Amino acid sequence: MRQPVRAVRTGNDVARRWPAAASGRRGRPCFLLAAVLALWSESAWADYLVFRINVGDTQGPTQVAGQPGAPGQVGVPGQPGLGAPGFGVGGLAPGGVPGGAPGFPGGAPGGVGEGIPGQPNPPGQPQETPGAAEWFLAVLSGEIVARSPQGPFLFRYDGGQFPFHPGVGVANMAEIYPIQAPSLSREFDELVKKKNLAQKAPAELVRWMLEHWTYRPGTGFDMLKKLEDQLLAWEKAGLDKLPEADRAVIRRLLETRQAVHEDLPDANDLVSRLAPLTGGRFVLTARGHYAIIHLQQDQKQAEDTLERLERLYSGLHYWFAYRGTPLPRPPHRLVVWLAESVPAYRKMRQNLGETRPSTADGFYAAADKVLVLSPARTDPAYVRLQSRLQDINALLLDIGNKILSQLFGGQPVPPEYQLSLENLARPNPQLKKLLPVIEKLATQDPNAMATLSLAQIVLNSSPAIYEEGIVATITSEGARQLLDATGVLPARVHLPDSLRDGFLALVETPKSNGEFRAASFYSGLGNPHWVYLPVFNFFTNEDRLKKGEVVFNEKTQHEVKIPVKPVALREVLMAANYREALQAKPEQRDVLLLKAQAESWALVYFLAQTRWQQLLHFYDELGRLPRDMAINPEVVAGIFASVFDLADSRQPDRLDESKCQRLEQEWLAFMRKQSLPMRLPAYVGGNTPPAANPPGNPGFKPPQPGGGYPMP
C-alpha cells in the first residue's frame, strides 16, 4: 500500500506556527483509495470535505469525466503540478497525470519538500459555451472513514454522517475534494507536550492559539477555554519561571483576562432609542458585553450569536494585548439587532442608509451604534445556489429512476421511493431500507455515484454553510463595531475605505471565494487572509503585469477583460483603487473591488507585521480628524508621511516619492514571501469535460423555509 503524504506545517510560518516543522499546514488531497484507507482511520487528523458547485449559467454536458491522478512523492524537485493544468503559476507541486483540457499554464517546477499548487489563474471555459461559470464553495470539517475497500466513504461531523465517493464530480456542475490536515487538538498537543512551548516559548504558543481562534460554541476545540486555562496555569506556577522575554506578554494577557470577564453596563439609552422601531414584537437578551434585539422565536439563534460575539470580544482583546496594546473598555454593552427575515434585513439596510458594497450578512450602522444581522446568508452566489438545486434534483431523479427500475423490474417507481432531494432529506422507512442497495448499485455507474455523492453533501452542508456565513459577518462587521467602541477605528471619521477595510481584514475570517479557488478552512486572528492573499498574488504576478490584462469567462458571451497594472502604495493609501473599481464597467466592478480590498489588506498586513506601533499611531492620528465629513486624501497621505518618516524635506505634509518607492518595494518583497497554511490543489477529479477547465471555489448556507429544497 502506498503511504500518503501527510499535511505538515511549512514555509515562512515556522517560527510562529510549528517551530519544529519545515513548511505550513498544508492540507493534502486524499485522492487514492489506499491513501484514504490509510489516513482516515486516525482521529488526530482533521478531515475537510470541500465542494464547489457551479451556480452560473455555463451550459454543457453534466457527466463524470476521468478519475484523478496520483499525487507525487515528498521532496521530489521539479515535478509537474497536480493533475489538471490551468490553476497555478508557480509553486511547489507534486507530480500527477494531467486531467481535463488546457486552461492557463500549471505550476512551474517545484523544489524540495511537499508540493503545493501554485497561485490560481482565471479558469478556462468551453470553446463553444454561450454562458459563464460561477462557482460556490463550501468547506465541511469532520472525519472521513471507509465503509469498505470499494466505497462509498462515510463523512462524520457533529451534525451526523453521510456517504460520498471521493475523487468524482459532475461535469460543468460540481467538484469534490477530500483534504486532510492535523487537527487542532493534535497540533496543540504537539506544541505543548512535545515541543514544550508552554515553558520554553509561551508567547509563541499564545500566538499560535490566536491564529487558530475558534468561534463555534459548544462543539469542537474551544480555543478560548484552552488559552484561559493555560494563562491560569502560568499564573499558578509563577511567572518568574517563564522566560524573561515572555513575562510581560503573559502578564498583559492575565490582566486582559480579568477585564474580559467583567460585564459591561447596560446600554439603556441606546436600546430606548431603538425601541420604537421594534413595534413591540421584539425582545432583548443582554449579558456580558452584548445586548441583542430579536424575536422571541429566534431565542436560540440569538443565544448562539451572543456566544460567538463574546468569543470575538475576548479574541480581539487578547490579540491586541498580545501585540502590546490592550484595548480600552467600551462604555456600555454593544447592541445587536437580529432581523426577523432576509427581506426585513434588506429593508433595514435601506432605512439606515447602508450603501457599502459587502458580502457580509450584516452591517454596522455607525450613526446608530447598532450591528444589524441577517438571519441567513444573503450573498449572490448563495442565492443562485437555490436555483442550482433544481438541476441537482433533476439529475438525482434521473439516476434514481435508472437504478430503481432494476429493483422494480422495469415498472414505474412509486413516488415514495423516488430519489429526490426532498426524499433524501427526510427518507421514509421504505426508502431508508433501500438506500444501502442504491448506494451499492451506484458504484457501477460513475454518473450515478457522483450525483448521489453531490446530493448527500449538499443536503448535509447546512451547518458548514451557516458557520462560514456567521463567522465571516461577526469577524468583519462585529469587529467594526467593537473597534469603533474602543476608539481604534472610529466609525464616524470617514477614513478611506482602503484603510478601514484593510485593518478589519487583519482579524476577519472571510467567506470562501469561487473565482480564485480560495477556501476559508479555519478561523484565526492576524493570519494571512484566505481570500485576499491569493487575489493579491494573482494580480501582482509578473506574467499578467507584462500582458496588462486578464480575461475571465474567455470566449463566452460573458467575457470580461480586467486591466492589470503594478500596485502603487500611494493609490492604495488614498483609496484610488476603490474609486477605480466603483467607476468601472458593471461587469468589471466586482473583480476590481475584490482586487482593491486585497491590496488594502496586503498593505495594512505588511505594516502590522513590520511597524505595528507606527500603524496604531497612524490610525490614532486619523481618528482625530473631524467627524462626519469627507477627508481629502492628500491629508491622509500627509499624516502617513509624518508617522512613517516618509515626508518630503521641502514639503513636510507631502510624501517623498523616493522614500515612498523604497517602502513600496519592501512591501512587495515582504508579500512575495507570504503563503497560506492550506490551499486547494488543482482539481484532478472527474468533473472536467473535454473542452473546459472549470473556474474557482466559493462558500454557502442553508435555504430559508418555503424556498428551494430542504437542507437539514
Rounded Cα–Cα distance for residues 163 and 435 (Å): 10
- Among 357, 373, 389, the domain boundary falls at 373
Same domain, yes or no, for 239 and 334? no
Predicted local confidence at residue 488, as pLDDT: 95
Same domain, yes or no, for 566 and 648? yes
Same domain, yes or no, for 207 and 299? no
Burial 622-641 (b: 16+ CB within 10 A, else e): beebeeeeeeebeebbbbbb
Same domain, yes or no, for 235 and 298? no
Residue 609: count of CB within 10 angstroms of its CB: 14
Rg (CA), the chain: 26
Same domain, yes or no, for 338 and 206? no
Residue 286 belongs to some domain of the structure: yes
Predicted local confidence at residue 366, as pLDDT: 92
Predicted local confidence at residue 435, as pLDDT: 86
The C-alpha cell that represents 127 in the structure block: 470553446
Helix (H) or strand (E) holding 634: helix 633-643
DSSP line for 641-683: HHHTT-B-SSSTTSB-HHHHHHHHHHHHHHHHT---S--PPPP
Predicted local confidence at residue 26, as pLDDT: 40
Which structural domain, as residue segments, surrounds residue 522? 493-672
Predicted local confidence at residue 4, as pLDDT: 29
Predicted local confidence at residue 172, as pLDDT: 67
Rounded Cα–Cα distance for residues 228 and 223 (Å): 9
CA atoms within 13 A on the CB side of 661: 3
DSSP line for 378-391: --HHHHHHHHHHHH
Rounded Cα–Cα distance for residues 14 and 149 (Å): 37
Q: Give the tens place of pLDDT for each residue, 595-614.
A: 999 999 999 999 999 999 99
Q: Is the peptide bond before 152 cis (omega within 30 degrees of 0)?
A: yes
Predicted local confidence at residue 45, as pLDDT: 60
175 Cβ neighbours under 8 A, 6+ residues apart? 51, 52, 169, 683, 685, 687, 694, 697
Residue 105 belongs to some domain of the structure: no
- Among 233, 260, 287, the domain boundary falls at 260
Same domain, yes or no, for 251 and 278? no
Same domain, yes or no, for 249 and 276? no
Residue 504 belongs to some domain of the structure: yes
Average pLDDT across each block of 10 residues of the chain; the chain has 712 residues. List them in order.
Answer: 30 27 37 34 65 70 38 31 30 30 32 32 34 78 74 78 72 78 89 95 98 83 95 96 96 97 95 87 95 96 96 98 97 97 94 86 94 94 85 88 84 85 87 85 81 84 88 97 95 91 97 88 95 96 93 74 93 94 91 96 98 97 88 93 94 92 97 90 42 31 31 30
Same domain, yes or no, for 549 and 635? yes
Residue 320 belongs to some domain of the structure: yes
Residue 98 belongs to some domain of the structure: no
Same domain, yes or no, for 229 and 352? no
Predicted local confidence at residue 573, as pLDDT: 95
Closest CA to 49 of 221, 129, 173, 168: 168
Predicted local confidence at residue 44, as pLDDT: 53
Supply the angle between the helices 380-407 and 429-442 in degrees, to the nearest 10. 90
DSSP line for 436-503: HHHHHHHTT-HHHHHHHHHHHHHHT-HHHHHHHHHHHHIIIIIHHHHHHHTTSS-TTS---HHHHHHH
Residue 343 belongs to some domain of the structure: yes
The C-alpha cell that represents 103 in the structure block: 486552461
Provide the residue count of the chain. Answer: 712
Same domain, yes or no, for 253 and 326? no
Same domain, yes or no, for 546 and 600? yes
Question: What are the phi and psi torsion angles at 585 (to 5°)?
Answer: -60, 150
Closest CA to 360 of 334, 340, 380: 380
Predicted local confidence at residue 460, as pLDDT: 84
Burial 65-76 (b: 16+ CB within 10 A, else e): bbbbbbbbeeee
Same domain, yes or no, for 541 and 658? yes
Q: How many domains does the chain have?
A: 3
Rounded Cα–Cα distance for residues 383 and 663 (Å): 42
Residue 597 belongs to some domain of the structure: yes
The C-alpha cell that represents 218 in the structure block: 459548544
The overall longest dimension of the chain from CA atoms, in Å, is 91
180 Cβ neighbours under 8 A, 6+ residues apart? 6, 7, 27, 28, 30, 39, 40, 45, 46, 47, 48, 144
- Among 215, 230, 260, the domain boundary falls at 260
Residue 361 belongs to some domain of the structure: yes
